[in-house]
Structure 1
Amino acid sequence: MLESKFSNLDYLSILLYFLALAMIALKFRFLKQSKAVEYFVASRKLTLPMFVGTMVATWYGQVAGISELSFNAGIFNWLTQALFWYGIYIFFAIFVAGKLQEQELWTLPQYIGRFYGKKAGFLAAWINFFKMIPIVYLLSLALLIRTFFNVDLPIAFLLGGVVSIFYCISGGYRAVVYSDCFQMLLMYIAIILVPFYAYHLYGGVSFLKANLPSEHLNLSGGFSFSETLVWAIIPLTTLVNPTFFQRCHSARNPKVAKKGILICLLFWGVFDICTTLIGLYARAIIPNVDPKDAIVTLGLTLLPSGLKGVFLIGLMATVMSTIDSHCFVAGQIFSQDIYPKIFKSKISESKMIRLSKWGMFISIALAILINSYLSFSITFYRKLTGSLGTVCLLLPLLFALFSKQKPIKNAGYYSMLFGMFGLLWFFLIQCSSSLPLLGELFPYLIIYPKQIAPFLFSEGIYVGLFFSGLAFMWAWVKREIFKEKNADGCKGS
């Protein structure tokens, strides 16, 4: 049994970790936060150290998925999960972060809504809410809880969900930020320990070369151009990530937002190197392990008693610091962008705060249900959520951020709608391999598209972006031809 691997010191470590989180929650539980601006964005006074701490911690909850990719594909993981992302981080810091901080809008759907109209903002709210459901992160956390406490996975899902949102609900955004800064320290201790011990016990490059498949030390990893291109496009989801929007909006000034993301890039670089090394060492030392469990199994294999607990709480901190942020932003979107639009009513600030807590509960409950009844790989979930945000929101948002033209009536709404349609169409085609009746009934929709345009239909993100761009372009051409007036209620009207 796994629990026999842990000493009393390991259990003491995890006890102290949860006590520290409880203390942070209690500290802000009794702080008066009746104003929405204080509860949701800490009165927009986030300093540079706090901004960096919460951004770094929030961005790396997919540590199990990253190590899975590194285990299976080697340094291709570093290319797709690090290098491709760095250019987008720099672009975001220089051209986007300052713009967002200067806005009086709190969420990405509000930004879309102001530019393209209420209908587009409402659709963007639902897309963002789904994107913020922490499916992948809760799965990663549940696997860690199962390892440490030897409980069944459904119980691990429930425990992970309850603990992750406890301090969000209790203390608001300040509790999230302070817990993130604390958890950032733990996650770096954990992620550096493993490659350090692996190098000390087994050696460096010569050991890896002798014990890894040759493609694992090749940047291409044996993947096709089409598959690599998907991973190159997915980092664009950074530009439409609601947590980035929320963090930038809560910064003290534009300078904090810009400089903060550039500093984060240095921390993320260290983390990326460590996670790639962990996947490589895991493949070389324990090649028969389940890739999803590679990082945990390697850490428990190499580390001595006392450090096993430190390692696991570091991994938990990595995941929980992302779950809390996603649930918190999901709650904010629910209370500000979904509930008021459904019931067409203005709500008080105190009710908005209460509704956000319900939104957090709904988000974590959906994550538990999806993980319990739909069994897919972590990589599949990452592709799905990354693709959804990119295909639906990227083109409308880039136009809204950088275009000096007047808004195009309905362009944002139909671009999002058709992007979603394209993505769903692709997944329907993928399902036809296990449901051949679909192809027999609808050959023009299921079989022929892949034969006519094999590259386009090789990945969902291509199909989604194609239809999103087509809808946006049609709206633009229509405006130019018919000289339509601006949408009511949009910027520039």
Structure 2
Amino acid sequence: MRVNLAIEDVVLIVLYFIGVLYVGFTAKKRNDDADSVEEYLLAGRSLTLPMFVATLVSTWYGGILGVGEFTYKHGLSAWVVFGLPYYIFGAIFAFMLAGKVRKSNLFTIPERLAQIYDKKTSFFGTILTLILVTPAPYFLMLGVLLQIIFGLDFKLSVVISTVISTSYLFVGGFRADVYTDILEFFLMFLGFSLIIPFAGLKYGWIDFIVANVPKEILSLTGGNSIQYIVAWFLIAIWTLVDPGFYQRCYAAKNERVAKYGILISILFWMIFDFMTITAGLYSRAILPELEQPLMAYPVLAEVVLPKVAKGLFYIGMLATIMSTLNTLVFISATIIGNDIIWRIKKKHNQVSQINLYTKVGLVITSVVSILLAIYFPSVVDLWYIIGTLTIPGLLIPVVTSYFEGLAPSPKYAFLIMVSGFVSSFASFAIGQIFKSSDGVPIYPFGLEPMFPGLIVSTLVYVVGKVLERVR
């Protein structure tokens, strides 16, 4: 697919990329602390409430093309799947964890695991966290957008998107990530605020959507089973172990900013969800025979928006993806630099070397993501599978580590982590081996892979706590 953009649209998109690069490269703080580890990794723990909200909101929607695809296929259930559960778990994180996370003054989740448990638990947690934050799907989506906008070769588009999204992180670190996120926060809202009124004026408003979409996609289940909805609802537990949440809280100016920043962010997520879901419903109503639902938003823009507005909408999609992409790249790089390379060499190196190792992590993350995006394009399909496999192992050890008396002993923390991951992985593998005639995976007991992982890890946790008290 190649979109038809006027020269004005192309100029706006090019100016957007130039603007992101300018903001990113000029973000570095100019003082004696500019090269400190705390400044490079967490912007000196100085995020104010507006900065915190802008960067957290913008990094939560990287899979925007996937949201369009899901809404096109399943309608209002997108809100039940991608909206409501994340508001709930986001609020739980704000009230129960945000202040404690900020007070810990750490850099990463694996660092917390090492502090509370032991080396093997921290190491396995490091691997699971790296899998959880893989940025490859977002490199792929950004590469696809560049390909359809500029007509470039796909591989070249992925490489270009990688360079644009990561180059300024070498210079400005986390502060560059935050400052570009602030710019992208405004642009993503601007882009999606345009398409709804243009669609409404051209085709009609709510009555038009109701009259032109299948009735089942106007229900909260979207024609899906209750178990399917519950499974997706539970995937939102991702929020409680999301490294982006922890990173923002570590970087907040104080505990109050961390807590209220998340609560305010939920309000902005509600607004943005309204816009993206409405746009997806318009796409289904206007384009009922769309062959590639993943392109629901781009194709809608083609038939609804005039020039300039179309360019701004594409910028909104690009900003939504890039704000998440650069965050995941930097988190991955920080884990590689701080929790792997430096932990191995810390007996021989000073803390100041962490910045250098993080930059090495940026290179490693970028190269691996390029290879995955080019040679395994189905990685987008694994987006939530990754969550179902890693969350059961991480959830209990990470969350309970912030509550005195609830954390398991190091021995059981490791068993919880391994059993949760292995159970989910085994269930997933069995489902891939045994499929129905129409290719649908048949999981043990009809349960999605996350369920056995959560059940087994919880049982190990309970048994471990009981045995600890008996002894």
- TM-score of the pair, normalised by structure 2: 0.93
- 1:218 maps to 219
Task: Specify the code of the residue in structure 1 equivalent to 2:322.
Answer: M
Instruction: Work out the percentage of aligned pairs sharing the same amino acid.
Output: 33
Q: 1:294 to 1:163 in 2, by over 3 A?
A: same
> Which of residues 445, 453, 458 is equivalent to 1:454?
445
Over residues 337-379 of structure 1, what are the superposed CA-to-partner deviations in whole Å (9 max), with x where a residue is unaligned?
A: 112334563533442111111212222322222222224374x
Q: Does structure 1 residue 79 correspond to structure 2 residue 80?
A: yes
Bigger CA drift: 384-393 or 269-278? 384-393
Instruction: Report 1:12-411 matches (<5 A).
Output: 12-28=11-27, 31=30, 33-289=34-290, 290-343=292-345, 345=347, 347-376=349-378, 378=380, 380-405=381-406, 407-411=408-412
CA shift, 1:427, in A, is 2.4
Q: Which runs of 5+ in 2 are unaligned?
A: none
| Correspondent of 1:465 among 433, 454, 461 | 454
Which of 131-140 and 466-475 deviates more? 466-475
- 1:442 maps to none
Q: Any stretches of 5+ residues in structure 1 without a counterpart?
A: 437-445, 484-493
Q: 1:341 to 1:26 in 2, by over 3 A?
A: closer
Deviations 1:88-111 (A, max 9, x none): 111111121111111122111111
2: CA distance, partners of 1:170 / 1:131: 25
Residues 375-395 of structure 1 show CA distances to partners (whole Å, capped at 9, x for unaligned) of: 4374x3232232234211111
Matched-pair contact (CA < 8 Å) for 1:215–1:222:
yes
In structure 2, the CA distance between the partners of 1:29 and 1:398, relative to structure 1 (3 Å rule), is closer
**Residue in structure 1 matched with residue 9 of structure 2 by the alignment:** 10
1:394-417 Cα shifts (integer Å, max 9, x gaps): 111232223425642312211111
Following TM superposition, by how much is the alpha carbon of 1:218 offset from its aligned partner in structure 2, in angstroms? 0.4
In 1, distance between residues paired with 2:407 and 2:315? Answer: 50
Contact 1:41 1:249 in 2 (8 A): yes
Shift of 1:422: 1.4
Q: Is the 8 A contact 1:34 1:349 kept in 2?
A: no
Query: Is the CA contact (8 Å cut-off) linking 1:135 and 1:367 kept in structure 2?
Result: yes
Moved more, 214-223 or 18-27: 18-27
Work out the CA distance in 2 between the residues paired with 1:105 and 1:95: 17
Q: 1:411 and 1:213, CA in 2 relative to 1: closer, same or farther beyond 3 A?
A: same
For residues 277-332 of structure 1, the C-alpha deviation after alignment (integer angstroms, 9 at most, x for no partner) is 11111111112221111111111221111222111111111100111011111111
CA distance in 2, matches of 1:112, 1:358: 23
Aligned partners of 1:82 and 1:269 also within 8 Å: yes
1:270: how far off?
Answer: 0.7
Give the RMSD, CA atoms, in angstroms: 2.1
Q: Which moved more, 1:299-308 or 1:172-181?
A: 299-308
Offset at residue 421 of structure 1 (A): 0.9
The 3-state SS of whatever aligns with 1:454 is: helix
Q: Which range is displaced more, 399-408 or 301-310?
A: 399-408
**Where does 1:437-452 land on structure 2 (aligned, <5 Å)?**
none
What TM-score, normalized to structure 1?
A: 0.89
Which is worse superposed, 353-362 or 230-239? Answer: 353-362
How far apart, in 2, do the equivalents of 1:341 and 1:37 lie? 17
Distance 1:342 1:99 in 2: 28
Distance, in Å, in 2 between the alignment partners of 1:237 and 1:399 is 15
Distance 1:172 1:220, change over 3 A: same
Whether the aligned pair in 2 keeps the contact of 1:191 and 1:314 (CA below 8 Å) is yes
1:377–1:330 Cα change, 3 Å:
closer
Give the AA of the match of 2:367. A
Distance 1:180 1:435 in 2: 44
Q: How many residues align?
A: 465
